Structure 1
Amino acid sequence: MTSTTTRAYPVPIDEQDRLRSLADFGIIGAPPLPDLPSVVELAAYICGVPNAVVNIISADQQHQMAAYGFEAGVCAREDSMCAISIVEPETVVVPDATLDARFARNPFVTGEIDDVRFYASAHLRDRDGHVLGSLCVFDQQPHHLTPQQREGLDKLARMVMDVMDLHRHGQLLESALDKVQRTTRELQRSNASLQHFAGQVSHDLKNPLTGVLGFVALLADTDAVMADPTAKRCIDRALSSATRMWRMIEDVLSHASLGGRPSFAPVDLGAVVHQVVDDVSAAISAAQATVDVGPLPMAYGDATQLRVLVQNMVSNSLKFRDRGRDCHIAITGTETPDGWTIAIADNGVGIPAEDRPRVLEMFTRLRTDVEGSGIGLATCQRIVEAHEATLVIDETPGGGTTMRITLPRP
């Protein structure tokens, strides 16, 4: 590796990337890595010298992460012999440092810090080739390495990097586990808040709804209503809708108590769709729309959530109808070996292809002239995801939007 000398020691050309990699390992300032002392002891034994050390070179210091034959410490990078050897292309072996121009005036050689004569340094190289430091062996007497000893030093240097990699992965795992624990605590807190909120809202809604049900039931039994078929039909519809609303409130409360998880069971899609059409009949009449419901299969899912999904989609079709022609909505269903598909097709203004992914996002409104919050289709998307289903938005032949929801078999 080539280098440029900008201070009293050579600096690798990849210095900034090297320092970023070193920071990722998180070993400087951390507790000693427990496996390194055995590695440096083995390095000293294999090379037949009294001293061995793992040196990590930071921006301005040499950190001795594990040492054999002396106490590990920290020194200035400009005093380090390994700060010089990390820019060399391969393992450095110096029989007598006093005779090597690179090291002869180094304080570890001159006696200012030590009297090193023999010195060998194998690179600690990360997976991207950045040299973070070295596995170094040295002696106060001149020395030589056999080819086998040099090969052993190189292998031990790779082992040091394996230990450092293991430490880094352990840190990443610990960080991930901490994040999971924090997320779990937040979910538990959110679920508790959801249960409290759902319970309060259910209580607040059920009290007036109880009164409505009571008054409607009393009205249904009056002679005037019994004698007027139209009035009786309207009262019966109001009673049916209010009863379904009561059940939906109970279902929402139960859904919240389960932490927001769907409650899966066999669902009659035909019954769900007919209930929705009945509930939004006033809006259908106001839009002078027609809704055709074809045969729909039994499926598997959460009946409450699927009712909300269909109601949101039908309401969307009514809101975004084409004012230049009569509004028509067709609801059909099919069954396949893989699951069940329900299609809701209208002849409204349609959704441009480039906007179809965006309409499923929270608070997205393509038309500001139409009343809405931008929540309906985002809610549908969440219900689809909770069922591990798929939602496809297509254009209806002749103009309009077709929504296809495919529910998988369990």
Structure 2
Amino acid sequence: MTSTTTRAYPVPTDEQERLRSLADYGVIGAPPLPDLPSVVELAAYVCGVPNAVVNLISATQQHQLAAYGFEAGVCDRGDSMCAVSIVEAETVVVRDATLDPRFARNPFVTGEIDDVRFYASAHLRDRDGHVLGTLCVFDQRPHDLTPQQREGLDKLARMVMDVMDLHRHGQLLQEALDKVRRTTVELQRSNASLQHFAGQVSHDLKNPLTGVLGFVAMLAEIDTVVADPTAKRCIDRALSSATRMWRMIEDVLSHAALGGRPSFAPVDLGSLTQQVVDDVSAAISAARATVDVGPLPVAHGDATQLRVLIQNLLSNALKFRRRDRDCRITVTGEETPDGWTIAVADNGIGIPAEDRPRVLEMFTRLRADVEGSGIGLATCQRIVEAHGATLVIDETPGGGTTVRVTLPRP
């Protein structure tokens, strides 16, 4: 059924919202919905008529999604009987359309397109109440509907909307799956780039580090160095730090090869923290700081990431010290029924309570006069999240910052 004649038609007060909702369903111009033919056939059977159709009313046309008794098509909205029905308050039932002033001059009634006499249409309403079209039944002979038939037509109209909602949800699910697939591909590409980058960085760092280790080892064999206790102590510490750096490079490379996933194992936090203190000893001396490390438990986590966590917390404590008093940092820990807690407390400038959530964000810097990139605590937060742990920032009694990290049991 097609027509090119343009006629006036009533416009619902919610026309723009209705058209947006219709577009969201994405059924006009799409492949036929497989369940609708059975619904329209059932509508014709229930109402005892030879024809039934699902009509959707777009801005300018009537689109027949599924039809029974004739072939579905498209017509001008001005020719559509259902374009009139969608502005009515309830289901429309007309025994003889030639006697109804709303439809008597419609081309579907006058014979220009068809000779409809009996006509009934139930609204297709979305969840917000917008009428998108109708489930329509009609006959070329006058007809009536019993209350039960009218109720059945209304129920079948709601079933049409259920089919359309199911299609819409399927589309949204497919879009979500497509997005997941695209994200997965991008993550695979990103991980491959990360592995390549980590390998290149590892190679670039190992070359000069190999030279450092070689020269330090040569110094350790010189008699005058061996005979000087201070020189020997410095050489031993340099050799120890360089060796740990070598191992850390290897760990970072392995971490990248695993796609950034932590490698969990028992970690002696006491030994690990002492190694970090040794590694940052130059910064501790420059700040004339005191670092007290109390008894720390053996926890479950990724040793490489936890080393970075503690080193960042210590470095922050040194960086944000107060200049009017000696810098003092304490590292304490305890084992609890739920896991292990490690606390790094300083007597520095502190972090205002309102800024504590913000400092965990990347590139956040509260003090422009203190050198830094603003990624230290953000890195700590990422490590904490990777461990399923928690990080809490509090004020140290007497002034300063206390950071507590609680690692859960596996």
Same fold (TM > 0.5): yes
SS at 2:11 equivalent: strand
Separation in 2, partners of 1:271, 1:21: 63
| Partner residue in 2 for 1:106 | 106
Separation in 1, partners of 2:142, 2:349: 89
1:16-27 to 2 correspondences below 5 Å: 16-27=16-27
Separation in 1, partners of 2:104, 2:275: 92
| Partner residue in 1 for 2:168 | 168
Q: How far does residue 47 in structure 1 lie from its aligned partner after superposition?
A: 1.0
| Partner residue in 2 for 1:304 | 304
| Partner residue in 2 for 1:253 | 253
Separation in 2, partners of 1:325, 1:136: 85
Q: C-alpha deviations, 1:14-61, integer Å up to 9, x for none?
A: 222211211111111111101111111111111111111000011121
Matched, 1:148 2:148: yes
Matched, 1:375 2:375: yes
1:52-63 to 2 correspondences below 5 Å: 52-63=52-63
SS at 1:12 equivalent: coil
Matched, 1:278 2:281: no
Q: How far does residue 67 in structure 1 lie from its aligned partner after superposition?
A: 0.7
| Partner residue in 1 for 2:319 | 319
Residue type of the alignment partner of 1:146 = T
SS at 1:233 equivalent: helix
Matched, 1:344 2:344: yes
Q: How far does residue 171 in structure 1 lie from its aligned partner after superposition?
A: 0.2
Q: How far does residue 126 in structure 1 lie from its aligned partner after superposition?
A: 1.2
Residue type of the alignment partner of 2:79 = D
Separation in 2, partners of 1:397, 1:104: 88
Separation in 1, partners of 2:314, 2:274: 12
| Partner residue in 2 for 1:119 | 119
Q: C-alpha deviations, 1:54-95, integer Å up to 9, x for none?
A: 000111211100011111111111111111111112111000
| Partner residue in 2 for 1:354 | 354
SS at 1:127 equivalent: coil
Separation in 1, partners of 2:159, 2:333: 62
Q: C-alpha deviations, 1:124-152, integer Å up to 9, x for none?
A: 11112111111000011111111121111
Q: How far does residue 354 in structure 1 lie from its aligned partner after superposition?
A: 1.3
Q: TM-score, normalised by structure 2?
A: 0.97
| Partner residue in 2 for 1:28 | 28
| Partner residue in 1 for 2:8 | 8
SS at 1:348 equivalent: coil
| Partner residue in 2 for 1:396 | 396
Structure 1 runs of 4+ with >3 Å offset:
none
Residue type of the alignment partner of 1:383 = I
Separation in 1, partners of 2:183, 2:342: 35
| Partner residue in 2 for 1:263 | 263
Residue type of the alignment partner of 2:318 = L
Q: How far does residue 101 in structure 1 lie from its aligned partner after superposition?
A: 1.3
Separation in 2, partners of 1:77, 1:286: 82
Separation in 1, partners of 2:91, 2:371: 73
Q: How far does residue 109 in structure 1 lie from its aligned partner after superposition?
A: 1.1
Residue type of the alignment partner of 1:182 = R
Separation in 2, partners of 1:175, 1:294: 53
Residue type of the alignment partner of 2:382 = R
- Once the two structures are overlaid, the 10-residue window that deviates more, 244-253 or 32-41, is 32-41
Residue type of the alignment partner of 1:348 = G
SS at 2:351 equivalent: coil
| Partner residue in 1 for 2:189 | 189
- Once the two structures are overlaid, the 10-residue window that deviates more, 230-239 or 96-105, is 96-105
Matched, 1:408 2:408: yes
- After superposition, the CA RMSD in angstroms is 1.0
Residue type of the alignment partner of 1:317 = A
Q: How far does residue 8 in structure 1 lie from its aligned partner after superposition?
A: 2.0
Residue type of the alignment partner of 2:243 = T
Separation in 2, partners of 1:311, 1:371: 17
SS at 1:391 equivalent: strand
| Partner residue in 2 for 1:68 | 68
| Partner residue in 1 for 2:85 | 85
Residue type of the alignment partner of 2:269 = L
Separation in 1, partners of 2:291, 2:20: 63
| Number of residue-to-residue matches in the alignment | 404
User: Where do 5+ consecutive residues of structure 1 fail to align?
Assistant: 1-6
Separation in 2, partners of 1:307, 1:324: 30
Q: C-alpha deviations, 1:162-211, integer Å up to 9, x for none?
A: 11011001101100000000000000000000000000110111111111
Matched, 1:295 2:295: yes
Q: How far does residue 159 in structure 1 lie from its aligned partner after superposition?
A: 1.0
Separation in 2, partners of 1:101, 1:394: 77
Q: How far does residue 103 in structure 1 lie from its aligned partner after superposition?
A: 1.1
Residue type of the alignment partner of 2:310 = V
Q: TM-score, normalised by structure 1?
A: 0.97
| Partner residue in 2 for 1:216 | 216
Matched, 1:129 2:118: no
Q: C-alpha deviations, 1:270-314, integer Å up to 9, x for none?
A: 111101100000000000000011111110000000000110110
| Partner residue in 2 for 1:335 | 335
SS at 1:93 equivalent: strand
Separation in 1, partners of 2:211, 2:222: 17
SS at 1:10 equivalent: coil
Residue type of the alignment partner of 1:20 = R
Separation in 2, partners of 1:47, 1:54: 15
SS at 2:129 equivalent: coil
Residue type of the alignment partner of 1:68 = Y
| Partner residue in 2 for 1:3 | none
| Partner residue in 1 for 2:47 | 47
SS at 1:205 equivalent: helix
Residue type of the alignment partner of 1:361 = E
Separation in 2, partners of 1:332, 1:46: 78
| Partner residue in 2 for 1:4 | none
Q: How far does residue 112 in structure 1 lie from its aligned partner after superposition?
A: 1.7
Separation in 2, partners of 1:343, 1:349: 17
Q: How far does residue 352 in structure 1 lie from its aligned partner after superposition?
A: 1.1
Residue type of the alignment partner of 2:349 = V
